[in-house]
Chain A
Amino acid sequence: MSAIYILCLEDEPEVLDNVVRDLGEFEDTFPIEAAGSVQEARKIVADLTVRGDRVGVILCDHIMPGEDGVSFLVELADREETVATRKILLTAQAGLESTIEAINKAHLHYYVAKPWKKAELVQIVKAQMTEYVLGQESDIRPFLGVLDSERLASAIRQKGLLTDE
């Protein structure tokens, strides 16, 4: 079974630490990877792909030294192995232009403005991961109880994802 990861990309170590800690409850089902720069994140994605693992959700800062977050998200949206990855921009300062680019070219799924509340972030990641799993996984049983149960239930009803056995 290939693992589905949550990738957090943020240049400030304390902020990165906070994101990872806030998402701790997903750790058991969705291992969390943390990257401090775009280069590092790119390497992590490459490593995961080689192992057959995938990135289900990426939380990405925008303004970082070196390459910026939105252009990395656009890059991920263009690559086959990450096209389905749910892309969340987690930033305090993305200008109108880069936000438009993120929506149009990176097919951004969610925009979270800093500072965030833990409950809110957990809720957003849960919803996005639920969509990823519903789109990508054929067996949803391992994810019951971790993801949005109402959304999963309605998908089970409509698409017959689970049957009496």
Chain B
Amino acid sequence: MIWFICCWSDAVHEQCSIDERMVAAMQALAKRRYFCRRGKVNLKKTVGLVLAVLVFFIPLVVPIPGLQFAARLTMGIFMSAAVLWMLEPIPIYSTSMLVIFLEIMLISGQGLLFNRPMAGVSAVPGTVEGTWVVDAASISDGTVYTLEEGRLGKAVPVEVLEIGTERVTFKAEGLSEATLLASDATDWRVQYKPLPYKNFFNALSNPVVILFLAGFLLAGASVKFDLDKTLTRFFLRPFGTRPAMIVLGLLLATATLSAFMSNTATTAMMVTVIMPIISQLKGDDPLRKAVALAIPVGANIGGIATPIGTPPNAVVLAALQGSGISIPFGTWMVLALPFALFLLFAAWLLLIKLFPAQEANVTLVLKGKVNKSGKAVMLYVLFGVVAVLWMTEQQHGLSSNIVAMLAIVALTVTGVVNKEDIRAVPWDVLWLFSGGIALGEAVSQTGLAAWFVNSINFETVGYMGVVILIGLVGLAMANFLSHTVTATLLAPLAISLQYSGVVNGASAIAVLMVMVAIGSNMGMSLPISTPPNAIAMGTGTFETKDLAKVGVTIGLLGFVIAVVLAKTMWPMVLQSL
């Protein structure tokens, strides 16, 4: 190839000196490669966008028995969003915004399709008490549809008594002379009572979104006042200088911080802590790998420990709250903390076994001072108070979502958090799971959820089968997709299983949803699985195969532990729901 380009440039620049020709050749090479790269990027984007549009129309053109029009639209939105989230031709938060917009335009009462009222006719009383006479067009499949302000009130099953040429006499309950019936019972709008568009906008102010907003502000303030670094020094000091103990210390410190901060920010901070350790080790010392891998592993596991640990937890909690089930902050921790601790311990054994240290001692340089400025101290106090209030939800009775608002107010009133810090909140993440919440709302409210549950026979797999299946699917997806997207796609389906007949009661559905969260958080075998993996990979200390070995083992182990807990401990903890 280079030879070819050289010859080509030879022909063009016969008069040029040798080095100029080389330069021209190099330029040509660079150009070629550049265009190839851009071509690939554009192709992937185009394929993603075209596919997203195509799958949107599938449920609208393919006949699906028992699925009314609005549910088909929702299915189209769901499938389209899934493609966009998986192939990422547009940013994932942008897909969430699109979901909310499409729901408002297509299935809300104020959107393009459902904003015009349907024509109605009054029911005319028949000769016998309780019988009514209507145009034949008002009855379809033995059902008439009452209208309220031109939209579906309710579907009323009727007993047809007499079919005339144009008029039908029927018997039905609950009708009066004032009742308006849809004059065309086959109208595609007739089977769906459109949701107010506000419901979809409301996803943005969902209580769980406020909970995360508080978490983001606390985490942001912690970075500003170096609380994360201070705590890390505090955690690591007791672990001494023995390599195995240092790995354990790193795992625990990272996990503890990432339970309250984002996994990504924690990893980024810990990378600055481990780089001095890594650079003092010999290039071939396996301990380097153990140290570098402890960070993303600890961060991914730690995120599960509290509701605010990672966004997938938010998606799951919001879906549960949508069904009237709320898991208190402290209860979540009782479920997730033993799981996390057990898995951290297993991860520790795995890391020191796979990557045994050559050195007997490693010096840990823990430099830095505790920030004792007024605002920093205020942050320490507020963080402590809020954490305690969160964990004692059942004692004081205030929901953690409300405590979150207290945190937001206190942080800004005291000036610990200022305008810049509010602007620095990762709003894209809040949008991302707001889109997920809105999607869940549409799936359950349009009847898509019910259809999904009824079209698959879950009886044959049974309850534990469903729990295992959901966990495995989540784990598999989360290795390749964003964890939040995994939870967002699985949560609406999982929550609908409460109508399947195999998942009975609040605690059973809660266990299933916790499984969704754990599955979504356990995907960590590839650099692309999570930002923490990508950051740790960026240190160049370990290879993809090391990450894969550790990630797959811990992911599967986590899954097994979760299944055991789902069978034993979790149902007992969640009994009171």
Instruction: Please give the residue numbers on chain A whose beta carbons come within 8 Å of chain B beta carbons, in ascending order.
Output: 1, 3, 5, 13, 16, 20, 31-36, 40, 44, 47, 51, 53, 141, 144-145, 149-150, 152-154, 156-160, 162-165
Contact = CB atoms under 8 A, between A and B. Distances in A.
Given A150-B271, A156-B264, A165-B432, A144 B537 contact: yes
Interface of B: 18-20, 22-23, 26-27, 30, 33-34, 37-38, 41, 92, 220, 223, 228, 262-265, 267-269, 271-272, 275, 303, 310-311, 424, 426, 428-429, 432, 482-485, 530-531, 534-535, 537-540
List the 10 closest A-B pairs by CB distance, nearest first: A144-B538, A153-B271, A156-B268, A157-B268, A163-B426, A13-B19, A153-B268, A145-B538, A31-B30, A165-B482
Nearest to B34: A3
Contacts of A31: 30, 33-34
Contacts of B228: 157
Contacts of B220: 160
Contact of B223 (A35, A144, A158): A158
Given A144-B538, A145-B538, A163 B30 contact: no
Contacts of B18: 13
A34 B539 CA distance: 29
Contacts of B303: 164
Contacts of A157: 223, 228, 265, 268-269, 272
A36 B275 contact: no
Contact of B310 (A47, A141, A150, A164): A164
A126 to B, nearest CB: 11
B534 A141 contact: yes
Nearest to B224: A158
A138 B445 CA distance: 38
Given A3-B34, A33-B30, A165 B311 contact: yes
B142 to A, nearest CB: 49
B271 A36 contact: no
A154 B274 CA distance: 12
B483 A162 contact: no
A5 B31 CA distance: 11
A82 to B, nearest CB: 18
A164 B263 contact: yes
Nearest to B31: A51
A34 B26 contact: yes
A68 B409 CA distance: 60
B23 A34 contact: yes
A40 B23 contact: yes
A154 B272 CA distance: 7
Interface centre among B19, B267, B428 (most CB of A within 10 A): B19
A157 B258 CA distance: 13
Contact of B264 (A3, A35, A44, A164): A164
A1 B38 contact: yes
Contacts of B535: 144, 149, 152-153, 156, 162
A152 B538 contact: yes
B41 A1 contact: yes
Contacts of B432: 165
Contacts of B23: 34-36, 40
Contacts of B540: 145, 149
A24 to B, nearest CB: 12
Contacts of A153: 267-269, 271-272, 275, 535, 538
Nearest to B303: A164
Contacts of A149: 271, 275, 535, 538-540
Nearest to B24: A40
Contacts of B485: 165
Contacts of B30: 5, 31-33
Contacts of A33: 26-27, 30
Given A36-B23, A150-B275, A163 B264 contact: yes
Contacts of A159: 424
Given A16-B19, A145-B540, A162 B264 contact: yes
B434 to A, nearest CB: 14
Nearest to B263: A164
A164 B483 contact: yes
A162 B223 contact: no
B272 A150 contact: yes
A160 B219 CA distance: 11
Interface centre among B41, B228, B264, B303 (most CB of A within 10 A): B264
Contacts of A36: 19-20, 23
Given A163-B262, A163-B429, 20 more contacts: A1-B38, A31-B30, A32-B26, A141-B531, A141-B534, A144-B535, A144-B538, A149-B275, A149-B538, A152-B535, A153-B272, A154-B272, A157-B272, A160-B265, A160-B424, A162-B268, A162-B531, A164-B531, A165-B485, A165-B531
